[in-house]
Amino acid sequence: MIGEPTPTGKHVSEIGRGPEPQRRFAGAVVIDTTTTGTLCFVNGMPIYAGAEVWMLEAAEALRDRGWSVDFVVHPDGPLARAARERNFPVAEIAIRGDIAPWSIGAVWRRFRRSRPNAVICNRLKDLKVAGVAARLAGRADHPAQPRERRSLRGDRPSTAGT
């Protein structure tokens, strides 16, 4: 539950959890609110939909708890405008291809300046670029590797994206 201590005694916030406990989710992000740091959201989509709304709401909640939050987003996209309206630092970088060197270089330069403690990506393409850039910038001590995803229609394992 939000605000209750974990077995280790630390308080955490669960971001991305819906109001109905029986509802299935692709995942949740757990942030330790006893500390602060820098977080970067990476979203290369040129649209504004559910994930983008979630990112802005999560960013505002984290900023209210003392975190420094910035965005790497699609150039001239609606998320860039919405994040700027809420006074977040925004880097507009096109992420057009998987492991594209020009995208990795641009994101790497951003990470070298902002020094994020954590990076949250919207889609696998964003993860491929931001993960490599974070590693090159010295910000990925424990890189995550997707091994198995659960289907949104049930608990059948899916190998999509691996």
Q: What are phi and psi of 147, to 5 degrees?
A: -110, -45
CA angle, corner 54, sides to 139 and 82, nearest 5? 90
Q: 74 versus 161: which is more confidently predicted?
A: 74
Asked whether residue 160 carries a pLDDT value surpassing 90, the answer given is: no
CA dist list (Å): 138 to 20, 91, 131: 39, 19, 11
36-139 CATH fold = Rossmann fold (3.40.50)
Task: Tell me the pLDDT tens digit for each residue of 96-105.
Answer: 877 889 999 9
Strand-pair category, 149-150 with 29-32: unpaired
CA dist list (Å): 22 to 17, 18, 157: 11, 9, 19
Q: 26 versus 113: which is more confidently predicted?
A: 113
Q: What integer pLDDT is reported at residue 96 of this predicted model?
A: 82
Task: Tell me the pLDDT tens digit for each residue of 122-152.
Answer: 989 999 999 899 989 987 654 444 444 444 4
Number of Cβ within a 10 Å radius of residue 53: 12
Task: Tell me the pLDDT tens digit for each residue of 46-83.
Answer: 999 988 999 999 999 999 999 999 999 999 999 999 99
